[in-house]
Amino acid sequence: MPDTHGQTIHVLDPATVNQIAAGEVVERPASVVKELVENAIDAGARTIRIDLTSVQGGISGIRVTDDGCGMSAADAELAFAPHATSKIAALDDLFRIRTLGFRGEALASIAAVAKVTLITKPRESAAVAGTRLVVTGGVLKERQETGAPEGTSVVVEELFFNTPARKKFQKNLNTELARIHGILEGLCLAHPQVSFRFYHNNREQLVTDRTAQPLDTIARIFGNECARELIPVSADLPFMRISGFVSRPSLSRRDHDRILVSINDRYVSTPSVTAAVKDGYGTLLSRDRFPVAFLFLAIDTRLVDVNVHPAKKEVRLSKEKEIGEAVRDAVHAALSKFDLIPEVVVPHPQNRELAGAENTVALTPPGVAEPALPYGSGAAGLPATAVPASGAPVPALFIEPTHTGTVSTDHRLRQTELASGVPPVTAVMPALEVIGQVGGIYILAAAADGELIIIDQHAAHERIFYEQVSRSMAGRHVQELLVPVIIHRPPKEAAILRDLIPVLAQEGVMIEEFGTGSFLVRAVPAVMGKIEGPEMIDDLVGDLLGGDPARPVSDRERITRIIACRGAIKAGTVCTHEQCQRIVDQLRSTQNPFTCPHGRPTMVRFSRAKLDEMFRRT
Ligand code: ADP
Ligand code: MG
């Protein structure tokens, strides 16, 4: 932390201003919180309190109070001028930035679109009184001396009062709260030396204590269970020091949202580093699973350009490749020091039964994509191998369905059978005769005209399920869980989930919150069939929180897809010949048999002509 105490604020010269990435920094309430808290951190605060107030579902006030260096009366006024900063003086400084701010624009931009009240008093100054300023819409309205503790407090009210277009962000309170949580989580993790206290309408949301141990902060935010699964990582290189934690492979997720990386105390999104973390796991994680990681990189400031994004959410790295390789190697080295063997699960005769019952052995799918196969069985499209007592691997091709597996599959098939009825005469898909199943994944079938069809059983059943679920939208049956399932979610996810509760209820998923971050799932749609365990519910909720921002669909549609995906027979489930035929017949009675709800093909076909051509019979 640089010494900003003696420094005063000055307006940057035009040459420097021109070099600074331009753009809007205050686009929503969450960005105000980010800028104010970053200022408090830069001011060397030990404790930062964030108070949010909301009325009628909109954020009405944001107050950030710190015990940092404070400002003199003259500085306080200048702080509101555009390009006024104490953090850099000249162009060269842009290449050795150690502070979170440097653009000198945040206070000016916030005050341009809101009413800002600033109360500040410099630390260890002779002054008895502090300064109170009110700036509204960029105009200084009040200035007075006032009694104040050392430090700074900024209150933002009437946000976007003069920019109605942006006011719309006020509408969805929980979404905005989730963003704020996300921002604060990143700041808390990158600055464990600061105690953060976040309140919403005086209700405690997130509180961290000052600590020298980042793991304490991680445990505080993400829970002890998460912290227990973490392995320390550290490496020292000439241009970079890596520290932090990565999860054992047993703790993995379907997205990389919890690979959190800070570079020089700035929490940023750097896809190359995220990818490097995943690479460090090699084959310890299947392709579609991601670890949890908290990494702190201290990189030579000359290699880090923070001046690429106005809100500084991204940085540009010189030596990106070397940095990535170093991160990958450090993660790999950390993992290889630990005995991880018990985590690697190879399908075994004894747990064929589990596979049949769709227990995916701690590996679950990304987003609402297809559920994963048991470890080592097919991420690369290879057939699963089972190791019989004799020790010689046997291709999964020859695995017989187990009794429990068959019963469970039957149950799922019955769920969809009742509703699908007889394939219509106008079916777009030809009638098929099943030949067999390969690797518990694909069904081989033949059409009357000599076509060979390969069907992805999960995608097919997902389509069947999806159409049924969307059709029975009205009057959906719910099944009460015998034992309600309790799920815990960190604050950010809890806020998103809270937002979805009413939509979920409409879809038959009954969730209620009890206590911050803890939810009780009481009922799920009957079509989901037998619920095999709390993990299934947890995964369902995980899917809901994930989403694909690239292809947004309505919450309702998303929930339908997730239910279909979760209820459908999974890849890796060994089916009997008769069950395969039932899947194919049901698929034929759907309206869109050729793709799954995510748009992937349910089947590929080899026409007779194509086969002849491949065998050079033509
Ligand atoms: P920047 O952070 O990029 O310098 P800002 O507009 O956010 O620009 O702040 C302008 C200046 O006001 C800062 O450089 C700093 O000197 C001063 N300042 C802002 N917030 C605080 C605070 N909480 N405590 C002390 N000084 C502050
Ligand atoms: Mg700032």
Nearest CA, atom 14, ligand 1 = 85
Q: Are 447 and 427 in contact (CB under 8 A)?
A: no
Which element (helix H / strand E) includes 240?
A: strand 240-247
Nearest CA, atom 12, ligand 1 = 79
Probe target for ligand 1 pocket from 26, 33, 39, with the most ligand atoms within 8 Å of CB? 39
Joined together, the tokens standing for residue 302 give 């000359």
Probe target for ligand 1 pocket from 5, 42, 78, with the most ligand atoms within 8 Å of CB? 42
State whether the beta carbon of 35 lies less than 6 angstroms from ligand 1: yes
Which element (helix H / strand E) includes 241?
A: strand 240-247
For β-strands 452-456 and 394-395, DSSP reports them as unpaired
Using the mean position of ligand 2's atoms as its centre, give its distance from the Cα of residue 273 in Å: 26
* Residue for token pair 């630990």: 338
- Ion ligand 2: protein residues whose beta carbon lies under 5 Å: 39, 101, 106
**Phi/psi of residue 582, each to 5°?**
-65, -40
Using the mean position of ligand 1's atoms as its centre, give its distance from the Cα of residue 178 in Å: 25
Contacts of 371 by beta carbon, 8 Å cutoff, 6+ apart = 358, 360, 364, 365, 458, 565, 570, 571, 572
State whether the beta carbon of 585 lies less than 6 angstroms from ligand 1: no
Q: Are 330 and 354 in contact (CB under 8 A)?
A: no
How much is the pTM?
A: 0.62
Using the mean position of ligand 2's atoms as its centre, give its distance from the Cα of residue 37 in Å: 8
Nearest CA, atom 7, ligand 1 = 106
Ligand nearest to the CA of 40: 1
State whether the beta carbon of 491 lies less than 6 angstroms from ligand 1: no
Q: If you compute the radius of gyration of the chain from its CA atoms, what whole number of angstroms results?
A: 29
Identity of the residue numbered 370: E
* pLDDT on residue 521: 86
**pLDDT mean by block of 10 residues, the chain; 618 residues:** 57 74 74 95 96 90 97 94 86 79 88 95 86 95 94 95 71 84 93 95 93 92 88 94 92 89 90 95 83 95 82 82 95 77 32 32 30 31 37 46 71 68 65 90 89 91 84 65 82 85 83 84 76 67 67 72 81 87 90 80 84 82
Nearest CA, atom 13, ligand 1 = 85
Using the mean position of ligand 2's atoms as its centre, give its distance from the Cα of residue 383 in Å: 55
Which atom of ligand 1 is found nearest the CA of 107?
6
DSSP structure class, residue 401 = P
d(CA 257, CA 290): 9
Burial of 225 (0-12, 13-18, 19+ CB in 10 A): exposed
State whether the beta carbon of 205 lies less than 6 angstroms from ligand 1: no
Cα distances (angstroms) measured from residue 283 to each of 73, 152, 295, 312, 375: 59, 50, 21, 34, 10
State whether the beta carbon of 458 lies less than 6 angstroms from ligand 1: no
State whether the beta carbon of 402 lies less than 6 angstroms from ligand 1: no
State whether the beta carbon of 68 lies less than 6 angstroms from ligand 1: yes
Ligand nearest to the CA of 4: 1
Ligand nearest to the CA of 84: 1
Which atom of ligand 1 is found nearest the CA of 106?
6
Contacts of 291 by beta carbon, 8 Å cutoff, 6+ apart = 246, 247, 249, 251, 252, 253, 259, 277, 278, 281, 285
Nearest CA, atom 17, ligand 1 = 79
Using the mean position of ligand 1's atoms as its centre, give its distance from the Cα of residue 133 in Å: 14
Ligand nearest to the CA of 104: 1
State whether the beta carbon of 106 lies less than 6 angstroms from ligand 1: yes
* pLDDT on residue 421: 57
Joined together, the tokens standing for residue 614 give 């491949």
* pLDDT on residue 366: 29
CA angle 463, 580, 449 (to 5 degrees): 90
Which atom of ligand 1 is found nearest the CA of 85?
14
d(CA 507, CA 511): 11
Probe target for ligand 1 pocket from 107, 121, 123, with the most ligand atoms within 8 Å of CB? 107
State whether the beta carbon of 40 lies less than 6 angstroms from ligand 1: yes
